[in-house]
Amino acid sequence: MKNHIRSFNLYKEKLTDSDASEFLMLILEHSRELLVILDADLKIIAFNKKAAELCPQIFNANLIIGQSIWEYVAEERLAFVLQVAEKLKSGQFIEYTHILPNKDRDAFYTYQIKFVPILDQAKKLNKVIFSGIDISKEAKLMQDGEASKNLLQHAEAIAGIGSWEWDIISDTVLWSDEFCRICGVVPGKIIPSKEKGFAFIHPSDREMAEKILENSFKTGNPYSVQLRLITNDGALKYIHSRGIIIRNEAGRNEKFIGTFHDITALKMLETSIEQTQLKFQHLIENSVDVMLLVNDKREVIFASPSVQTMMGYHPEEILGIRLAQLAAKEDLPEMLIHFEKILSSPSVPYTLEYRVNTKEGNLKWVEGTINNLLHVEGVNSIVINQRDISKRKETEKLLQQLNESLEKQAIELSASNVELEKFAYIASHDLQQPLRMVNSFLKLLQKKYEDQLDETAQQYINYAVDGGERMKELINALMEYSRLGTKNLSCEQIDMNTIAHYVVNLFSKTIKESNALVQIHNLPILYADKIRMRQLLQNLLGNALKYKADKFPQIDISAENKNGSWVFCVADNGIGIKEKDSSKIFEIFRRLHTQTEYEGTGIGLSICKKIVEAHGGKIWIEPNEPMGTKFFFSIKILGDV
């Protein structure tokens, strides 16, 4: 370079000032670069032809001698040019790339800009040479190359394929970014080499890989092989590696180019499929149900092992047998009708119950799920799953016989109940007349001979009268009990709040005398018999007031919606009922106390039970802690009884 400068200087010494000026002008006018000479204040002194052409594109204005460069600077670049000016004053050389749109705004120009400071002898800024050259084509080539590289890297990343290249002559190795990622290393953080590449291969596969590579070297043939990798972070991966040798014209190996395709997910899927197939095979082999595959000719082409247990045939022995031979003759016509429907309805499963012939000639009931998959590639058959239901059928037959027997007994019992109700009503009604006569004559005897009888005789007559009255109460209660039943109900929508207040009002005198507190908590509307509901609450409230303890009675009447029924509760703080007696109290004429202790017929709670059951509910008791009893009964919500 120094020799070229020296030659130029020697040549310049031979030129006249005029020749030198002309020579300089030729250089400036025909230069590819735009050249502008500025003074120390950055005012334009001179510029060449290229500058005159290009500066309007860069500055959007024509260059004028004497104008300052500040007049051409856009506001958004003002701060940047100020920094440039400061650096020029200190003698610094400035170079940068400037990108701006062209006139049509559909493309961009790229310029390489230079500011060269010219200093005087005092090292102060004297002049500045501003130059620029259009490098748009070069920049576009670089951009396209970078885009292609990025596109290739994206494609590799999407496909999971990494590439490598080994320059055999220079012994240098290149790895793509995806190759690095497959091997578990950060691109650019490791210097590639053949040895490091082999180190990623699983130790058990390394010898095989070396032999394949050596064979490709010798023969020049490409290779394709599946290998395991141990990545940089210790993970196991499966890859499909391909490679090819590139030779020069003399047949010498120059480059080895290869790819790593990450097939780990595929391998995992294959393993999963194999495990699923094995699991499916075990399920078929160990299932008690029989699986049959039948072709379009209705011939068995596959039978699971359980066919031997169910039908007595070895799986291979039943192959080729037609379905008509296996079905019971009596069921065959109906089976043929179903089979035609199955053939005309692909992929629609049918579940049927039918009988099959065993090898020994016996009949077995089976439940078969049949699916027409003749159109499905890889299956191309009718799939039948059969389950032995012989025991279930025997049970169903026994249940049917039992139901028929129970139904017969129910009819007989119903007729018997009707007769019993008639008998109870007639008996109680017919007993009324002689009982009235006995009571009447006893009262006449007591009235007429009252003065003639001693105290003992009077007491005996009183006992007889009381007994007659007691018998009358029992007969009336029995008549009431016999009339209760579902047939006698007259159901309608009723407000249980109204019913409860009506019943409480009936006991107003007793409630007042005993200082009782009765609370009614927002009761529901029911579809029930109004008279029976009054009678039910009347009996329960009457019992709560009768069997009171020493303290003032407290009685709560409430209801709660539970599982489609209203569950009512009548809770008291009375003497309570022992757990062992909880089921006895609803029996007719069952009393837990003597007539002397508490009066009553012993039929009230039996009537309550019959009313509740006539409405499809049930009645029970629970203790009311710390003292008393809770009577519960359920009634269906707005349902027909």
pLDDT recorded at residue 599: 58
Ranges 70-79, 350-359, 543-552, 578-587, most confident: 350-359
pLDDT score of 61 more than 60: yes
Q: What's the pLDDT tens digit per position in 10-52?
A: 444 554 555 555 666 676 666 778 888 889 888 988 888 888 8
Q: What's the pLDDT tens digit per position in 137-172?
A: 766 666 555 555 555 555 555 556 888 888 888 888
| Cα–Cα distance, 486 to 465 (Å, whole number) | 37
Contact 505, 482 (CB under 8 A): no
Q: Is 467 helix (H, G, I), strand (E, B) or coil?
A: helix
pLDDT recorded at residue 8: 41
Kindly report the average pLDDT of the chain as a whole number.
Answer: 78
pLDDT recorded at residue 590: 57
120 phi and psi, to 5 degrees? -85, -175
CA angle at 12 for the pair 9 and 15, rounded to the nearest 5°: 165
pLDDT recorded at residue 3: 47
Q: What's the pLDDT tens digit per position in 307-324?
A: 888 888 888 888 888 888
Token pair belonging to 178: 């995806």
pLDDT recorded at residue 6: 44
Mean pLDDT of 341-352: 83
- How many C-beta atoms surround the C-beta of residue 395 within 10 A? 11
430 compared with 29, residue with greater pLDDT: 29
pLDDT band at 598 (very low <50, low <70, confident <90, very high): low
Q: What's the pLDDT tens digit per position in 400-421?
A: 888 888 888 777 666 656 655 6
| Cα–Cα distance, 54 to 31 (Å, whole number) | 13
22: amino acid identity, one letter: E
Q: What's the pLDDT tens digit per position in 502-542?
A: 888 888 888 888 898 999 998 999 988 888 888 889 888 88
Contact 213, 223 (CB under 8 A): yes
Token pair belonging to 37: 């000479």
Expressed in percent and rounded to 5, the helix, strand and coil fractions of the chain are 45, 25, 25
| Cα–Cα distance, 368 to 372 (Å, whole number) | 13
| Cα–Cα distance, 221 to 226 (Å, whole number) | 17
Q: Where are the alpha helices (DSSP H) in 226-358?
A: 264-286, 307-311, 323-326, 332-343
pLDDT recorded at residue 521: 92
pLDDT recorded at residue 589: 55
| Cα–Cα distance, 256 to 614 (Å, whole number) | 96
pLDDT recorded at residue 1: 42
Beta strands in 447-576 (DSSP E): 491-495, 517-520, 525-529, 554-562, 565-572
Q: 525 burial class (0-12, 13-18, 19+ CB within 10 angstroms)?
A: middle
Q: Which of 138-147, 372-381, 564-573 has the lowest mean pLDDT?
A: 138-147
| Cα–Cα distance, 219 to 579 (Å, whole number) | 100
Return the percentage of the chain with pLDDT > 90, whole number.
5
What is the signed CA dihedral for 145, 150, 155, 158, rounded to 10 degrees? 180
